[in-house]
Amino acid sequence: MPSALLHQIRLSNHTKENNCMNMKEYFERTPGRGVLSTADSNGKVDAAIYSTPHILTDGTVAFIMRDRLSHHNIRENPYASYLFIEDTQRSVGLRLFLKRFKEETDAALIKSLMRRHLSPEEDQALGQTFLVSFTIEKILPLIGSDPSKIPVC
pLDDT of residue 20: 65
Contact 1, 27 (CB under 8 A): no
pLDDT tens digits, 64-106: 999 999 999 999 999 999 999 999 888 899 999 999 999 999 9
How far apart, in whole angstroms, are the C-alpha atoms of residue 14 and residue 62? 21
Q: Of 122, 114, 79, give the one whose Cα is nearest residue 98.
A: 79
Band (pLDDT 50/70/90 cuts) for residue 19 is low
pTM of this structure:
0.81
End-to-end CA distance of the chain: 17
Domain boundaries, the chain: 3-144
CATH number of the 3-144 domain = 2.30.110.10
Phi, psi (degrees; rounded to nearest 5) at 64: -90, 125
Q: What angle do CA 120, 71, 6 make, to 5 degrees?
A: 115
